[in-house]
Each structure stands twice: as structure tokens, then as C-alpha cells.
A and B are shown apart, each in its own frame.
Chain A
Amino acid sequence: MATVELRNLRKTYLHEEIIKGVSLAIAEREFIVFVGPSGCGKSTLLRMIAGLEDISAGDLLIDGQRVNDTEPARRGVAMVFQSYALYPHMNVYRNMEFSLRLAGMPEAERRQRIGDVARILQLDPYLDHKPGQLSGGQRQRVAIGRAIVRNPRVFLFDEPLSNLDAALRGQMRVELASLHRRLDATTIYVTHDQVEAMTMADRIVVLDKGVVEQIGTPLELYHRPRNLFVARFMGSPPMNLLPATINAHDPDGTMQVRTETLSVSIPTQQGGLEVGAPATLGIRPEHIRIDPQGAVQGMVEVSERLGAVTLLHVRLPDGQMIVVQTGGDNTDSADTPICMTFEEEHCHLFDADGMALARSTDHPLLAGA
């Protein structure tokens, strides 16, 4: 298994810079997920690592060796494509054998290897089937098998689950995670689905417009978004964001913040923010409590009952809409006035440039991170 290092990677296409200097060090056996909205450059970045796109500037190192100009097959990377990209004219066995045959591996060894991989992926019964005869999930497995047989140093996945239906996607997500544990392979995985990113990644790289917005563990990103973009992108339903003003900063390390309708003390450091400066208050839907004594009033507009939880879309007196996550047994329906409490220790504060202010206290799950 290998380390991968990106040093200020850039990609220019027709005078337009799509990747604007990405640097990242990936450790051995790490599962890295590139996530971001469509057009953020995550797939391009993956294809640059694969060798399918030229690198305009910067260095790409695999196991410490610069591979910018190395042929894809010689980089020791294997890729699973979004469309699977199986060879339709070859059966499953031949699909997996293709790279081994091109590499000149003896027949007996090929047979042995493909047999092993087919067993892991439960593909034994389908070895002589053509891809067209397989279901979506099976094709996905063949695509993974084709990558595994090569025994690559790095696995690259380009939105591999986006063609599957929701149930199968959930199942394959678990299978991929356990496969990663079993193979102990360095993996780079591209997705636009933040659930995949949160559940599988050791570290997530959030990209937007060719720039890294934040790199961190899933919980770091969730609880300590570095800026408004990450705060909006991670979490479903997304974080509530309200325009606010700094009211005061207390010497004990909290900021008094006021919006049109509420006032909270947030345990963040002052940063450069003076009293009266504009800011953005962020709070996740699960950190707003329904509380008859709560200081924040609102009117329920829509109640989405998901079973385990209920999402209340609440209009504040100043017209702002927020989402509140409550228990599945909540009975508030539309047009019900409610009172709420914002859990201050879970509030986020962003300055006018959208950058988060550093916390004075740490999230218990992130202690030591």
C-alpha cells in the first residue's frame, strides 16, 4: 500500500483553471473522500491522479515518486468508473483478466488470482456471463473486481454508487467499507453524496470551484466547519444560517450575538470581530430544542414526518425560515406557534467573509483531534 501526495496540483483547460492548486498528503491505507457540488473539480482531480488527465502544474507523488508523466497503468492505481465501463464484449472472467493478460502474467497465476477475487466478491457463478446479463449491483462488483485483481497500490473510485438504487447503494456502501478494511488499501473516493462521504471516509476533502475548502475527519467537518460553504454543504437538512450582529464579547470567552429575533452567547474566540460587526449565526436543526420556556418564538409552516425524526420548518417573527429537528412523536402541525431554545454550545459563528470563528471549547467527540 502506498502514500499519495498532491503538491499544488493545477489543471488548466482552454485557458480556464479548473483545479487551482490542491495540496494533500494521503497516508497509507487511508480512505479519502473528495466531495463537493457538481463542477467543483473532484472528478478531474481524481482523473489527474489516475493519469487520464494531464497535470498542468504541480507534482503528484505516489510512494514518494513523482508520477506526473507516468502512464496510468504504471502508476499502480486502479479505477472504478461511475458507468462501470466494463468491456461489454468480454465475459466477467475476461474483464478481470484483461489487465493481467496485458501485463504478461502466466495463465495459472491469472486463474488463481481471479478465482480469489471472485470468491471475495461472490462472483463465482457469473464468471462466464457477459456484463449485459448482470444486474447493476453485480456489474458494480465486477468493476471492483477488475480493480482488485491488479493488486494496485491505490484504489480510485469515481462516484461508483450513483447508478444504483437507494437500497442497493446503502448495501454497497457497507460492502465497500468492509472491503476497504479487508484489503487495507489506500483509497480515494469521489462522490457528491455527503452520506457516502460521512460514512466511509477517514478524511474528507471538500472541494468547491477547484479549491480545497476544508480537509478533515467527517465529524470535524460536521462539528467544526471552517467556513460557510462547508457548513452549508455538510449535513442534511443543512445548517440554519441567520444574519446576525456582534453584541458584546464577554471576558470569559463567549460572544454575545444578536439577530432580529434572538440573542445567544456563543463560546467562540473573538477573532477580529468588533462589537457591531455583521456576522452569520449557524445552528444545526438537531441543536434547536422545542421548549415552552424558550426565548425564540416561531410558527410552524410545514411538518415533515420522517418516522424516527420530524423536521419542522418554522418561520421566525422576522420572516426567516429555519428547520428544527425533533422526535418522531412530535405532534406540532402547520400553523402551530412554538417556542424554542438554541443550544448555545452548538452554535457557530462566521465572520463577514464566511470564515468560522475558532471555538473556545471543543466538541467531546473531537477531543484531542
Chain B
Amino acid sequence: MARTSTRLRHAAITVLAWGIALWMFFPILWMFLTGFKSEPDALSTPPHFLFHPTLSSYQDVFARENYWHFATNSVVISVMATLVALLVSIPAAYAMAFLPGPRTRMTLLWMLSTRMLPSVGVLVPIYLLARATGLLDSRTGLIVIYMLTNLPITVWMLYTFFREVPVAILEAGRMDGATRWQEVTQVLMPLALPGIASTGLLSLILCWNETFWSLNLTSSIAAPLTTFIASFSSPEGLFFAKLSAASTLAVAPIMVFGWVSQKQLVRGLTFGAVK
């Protein structure tokens, strides 16, 4: 009796989970399908589930814009911003986790609070700063901005991961003669590698998807894939098929990347939740 009810509950939860997953995935699926429709098919109401697939939208997209230019910018900017963010936040998180001062907690909270500020609130000063330093429409400019906006998150995540490392192991390293640098690079980092990897992954994804600053600070030279999508959106809501094709092209790399590394990502995001 109890067994049957458990089994029923399992079945219900499975159906519910699939339902939610499909519901969340549907917009992406719809975008993917629309990219293969002709423009009239894409606009028709009620929508067509059955249609003649065509690559014409993709051909148009490739004919109009240099996809690889945008893609290269996205890769370079995301990877560089992530690397620099890790380079800065690993020592910061180390200090906060293992050498905390009386104000460490406040500093952490304050850092996180900066993420709550709407980006548009600082648009003018950032724009003026970027212009004054010649960083408008440059990869370096975006790398700096992305790195800085993600820093609170990367420091927080690494701080949490580092806190999971037993202090005694680092002390053993110190007893064994490790300098601070060796302690971090040879003891702490190998131990926290899963955490560092998932922090890096999250930063990559955030950088890849960032739209606000890329639209406002770049035009052509440094423009990443988010501006590539934006260039296909028209105010009248026309050309859905081309917009969908461009969007698919823009999100495909990070989706494949996320899918390949999802195990690592999930492990990272739930790290410490279970022993």
C-alpha cells in the first residue's frame, strides 16, 4: 500500500518536472523552429507547427552581417573578462575566507549590493568614462566593465567554495614550508578546482548574455553577439524568422557549452548543500 503511494508520488513528480522543463524550454524551441520557417509562416496566427523548413533566413542573416566577427568578439570578451575576474577574485576570496577581519562580512554584503543597482543608473558616468579613456567600442572596454560587474558574484562564489576547504590542510601546507603563493596555487586551488571551474562557467555565461553595456558602449568594432541579435530586431515586429535565426546562432555556442558542462555547473551551484 505504502509502496504504491510512493510510486504514484514518484510518477507525479516526474510528470511535473518534465512539464516544467518543457514549459521553460518552449521559447527556445519555438525560436529554433521559427528560424527554419519562411517569414509568412513565422507570422501566421494561429501558429503553424507543421511547415516546410527552409534555410533562407539563415542565408539572409549570413549575407547581411559578418557572424564570425561578432562571435569572435563574444568569445574573446567573455573569456578575457572571466580570466581577469578569476585572477582578481581568487586572492580576494582567499583573504576573506581565511584571514577575515572584523569588516569582512560587511564588505561581502556591500559588494553584493552593488549588483542590485540598475545598470542604467550609471550609464552616463560609465559612458563618459569610457569615452574619456578611449574605451568606447573597444573589447578592452567591455572586458573591464564585464569583469567589474561580475566581480561581486565571482568573489562570493569563490568565498563560499574556499570556506569548504578545511583550514587545517592549508596550515599543514604552511608547516610543510609552503609560501603564501604556493599555499594558494598548490594546495587551495587544486582542492577548490570544481568551485573555481563553476565560478568561471557562470561568469562566462553572464558575460556572453550581457546586453545592456554591449548595446550602449559598442557599435561595430567590438560588438558581440548580443548586438548582432539586436540588429535583427525591427520595431514593427517583422522578420521574425530572421530574428529567430540570428538568435539561434547567437545562443547556440553557449547552449552547447552549458550542456557539455552542466554536470560541473550543477555540482558547483549546489556545492556544500549536501555532504
Contact = CB atoms under 8 A, between A and B. Distances in A.
Contacts of B190: 89
B168 A85 contact: yes
B236 interface: no
Contacts of A71: 177
Contacts of B186: 98
A102 interface: yes
A196 B186 CA distance: 35
Nearest to A103: B177
A74 B172 CA distance: 14
Per DSSP, chain B at the interface is helix
Given A87-B187, A89-B191, A102-B182, A52 B175 contact: yes
A324 interface: no
A188 to B, nearest CB: 14
A82 B168 CA distance: 9
Contacts of A83: 166, 168
Contact of A99 (B168, B169, B171, B177): B177
A50 interface: yes
A85 B177 contact: no
A85 B174 contact: no
Contacts of A150: 176
A81 interface: yes
Interface string B104-132: 00000000000000000000000000000
B161 to A, nearest CB: 14
A73 B182 contact: no
B175 A73 contact: yes
A78 interface: yes
Interface centre among A74, A86, A99 (most CB of B within 10 A): A99
A70 B175 CA distance: 12
A79 B168 CA distance: 11
B173 interface: yes
B205 interface: no
A89 B192 CA distance: 10
A359 to B, nearest CB: 43
B178 interface: yes
A72 interface: yes
A88 interface: yes
Contacts of B182: 102
A87 B177 contact: no
A98 B176 contact: yes
A79 B171 CA distance: 10
B172 A79 contact: yes
A72 B175 contact: yes
Interface centre among B169, B176, B177 (most CB of A within 10 A): B176
Nearest to B191: A89
Nearest to A152: B175
Interface centre among B169, B172, B174, B175 (most CB of A within 10 A): B175
A93 to B, nearest CB: 14
Contacts of A87: 169, 172-173, 187, 191
B173 A98 contact: yes
B176 A85 contact: no
A362 to B, nearest CB: 43
Contact of B191 (A79, A88, A98): A88
A197 to B, nearest CB: 22
Interface string A208-234: 000000000000000000000000000
Contacts of B168: 81-83, 85
Contacts of B176: 73, 98-99, 102, 146, 150
Given A83-B166, A85-B166, A89-B190, A73 B177 contact: yes
Contacts of B191: 87-89
A236 B214 CA distance: 73
Interface in B158-200: 166, 168-169, 171-178, 182, 186-187, 190-191
Contacts of A74: 177
Contact of B174 (A52, A86, A146): A52
Contacts of A72: 174-175, 177
A139 B187 CA distance: 18
B188 to A, nearest CB: 10
Contacts of A51: 174-175
A146 B176 CA distance: 9
Given A88-B191, A89-B190, A89-B191, A102 B169 contact: no
Interface of A: 50-52, 71-74, 77-79, 81-83, 85-89, 98-99, 102-103, 146, 150
- Pairs A-B, 5 closest by C-beta atoms: A73-B177, A99-B176, A85-B168, A85-B172, A102-B177
9 contacts: A50-B175, A72-B175, A73-B175, A77-B175, A79-B175, A83-B168, A87-B173, A87-B191, A99-B177
Given A89-B191, A102-B182, 7 more contacts: A74-B177, A77-B175, A78-B175, A85-B168, A86-B172, A87-B172, A87-B187
